[in-house]
Amino acid sequence: MTEAHEETFRIDHFQPCYLASSVGDTLTARVEQALKALSNCSMCPRDCAADRLNDDSHFCGIGRHAFVSSAFPHLGEEDCLRGWRGSGTIFFSSCNLRCVFCQNSDISHYSAGQELDAKAIAEVMLKLQELECHNINLVTPSQVVPQTVEALAVAINRGLNLPVVYNTSAYDSLTSLCQLDGLIDIYMPDFKFWESDTAERLCNAEDYPQRAREVIREMHRQVGDLQMKRDGLACRGLLVRHLVMPNQVSQSAAIMNWLATEISKDTFINIMPQYRPAHDVRGDARYAEINRPPTHDEVDQVYDAARSAGLWRFDQRTGFSI
């Protein structure tokens, strides 16, 4: 596609969706609904039915309050998110997916970091805004959507005015996404696997491909294709990540084809080549087929599959001169 076509995704004026009066008037009700859902939790596809309001917890290990492992201006994200002052990342602990190859398993598989209530998380968001980050980037938030809604309500009432990024594995529930509708400007799911048996084996979630398709479709319905401001910063829309893994090119190709045919050929996508064996995979014969990085040829094949499907908007690391 041409630069002229890319120009159709540039906008001159932007304000976060949550600043619309129609959203602000519903914040109190949204928080009440979100917290009520915690009492019989079905906030992710694990559907544990734990009474998290009373600090019961099942698969994710998180009760009433979220755990935050770190928060800082992140300069390693996509160019359109990190810009020149960083993406304001808040890393939540205890991911609900538990991939055997996770490179951050010390954080994502456990309740690491500090247990923070809504007011404390809102303080973190506002501090990142004071540091002039370009956005608030919620990393692995699927297991703490009610707590996130609660914190966002506090931060919005105290002057938050940055785009909010929902940075997820895509193992989310439609119930959660309905609670987030109107609060999230940028959805950034990672569509990992196409085949159910692979998902069952590598992340203990046979239904992952089905759930990912459902929620990515809903994310796109809410925010559409990714839009940028004139300075190149993303402000609203869908950005899909895909981690290229060894011996899975056919699954990658199926994902690219689905995105192009069922979501949009204008989907902005980051095809990531940085997979390395980690956590349970290293030296374990059970995972021999993924116990190496992807080859250059495998990465090239995924790009070729994406282009053949009609996708054309790719994350390209060029940096900012501002």
The one-letter code for the residue type at 239 is: L
Q: How wide is the angle at C-alpha 275 spanned by C-alphas 273 and 281, nearest 5°?
A: 160
In a domain, 319, yes or no: no
In a domain, 48, yes or no: yes
What is the 3-class SS of the chain, one letter each residue? CCHHHHHHHEECCCCCHHHCHHHHCCHHHHHHHHHHHHCCCCCCCCCCCCCHHHCCCCCCCCCCCEEEEEEEEECCCCHHHHCCCCEEEEEECCCCCCCCCCCCHHHHCCCCCEEECHHHHHHHHHHHHHCCCCCEEEECCHHHHHHHHHHHHHHHHCCCCCCEEEEECCCCCHHHHHHHCCCCCEEEEECCCCCHHHHHHHHCCCCHHHHHHHHHHHHHHHHCECEEECCCCEEEEEEEEEECCCCCHHHHHHHHHHHHHHHCCCCEEEEECCCCCCCCCCCCHHHHHHCCCCCHHHHHHHHHHHHHHCCCEECCCCCCCC
In a domain, 321, yes or no: no
Q: Which residue has the tokens 């054309």?
A: 312
How far, CA to CA in Å, does 270 sit from each of 48, 112, 186, 303, 312?
A: 32, 28, 14, 10, 11
Q: Whole-model pTM?
A: 0.95
CATH of the domain at 240: 3.20.20.70
List the pLDDT tens digit at each of the 322 positions of the chain: 556 678 889 998 899 999 998 898 899 999 999 999 999 998 899 999 999 999 988 888 899 999 999 999 999 999 999 999 999 999 999 999 989 999 877 776 666 799 999 999 999 999 999 999 999 999 999 999 999 999 999 999 999 999 999 999 999 999 999 999 999 999 999 999 999 999 999 999 999 999 999 999 999 999 999 999 999 999 999 999 999 999 999 999 999 999 999 999 999 999 999 999 998 998 889 999 999 999 999 999 999 999 999 999 999 876 554 4
Count CA atoms closer than 13 A to 292's CA, side-chain side.
Answer: 9
In a domain, 10, yes or no: yes
Q: Which range marks the domain in which residue 150 is found?
A: 3-314
* Tokens standing for residue 184: 């999230």
Number of domains in the chain: 1
- Which residues neighbour 7 within 8 Å (Cβ) at sequence distance 6 or greater? none
Residues listed for the chain? 322
In a domain, 163, yes or no: yes
In a domain, 320, yes or no: no
Distance, C-alpha 14 to centroid of its chain? 21
In a domain, 322, yes or no: no
* Tokens standing for residue 305: 């599959």
In a domain, 215, yes or no: yes
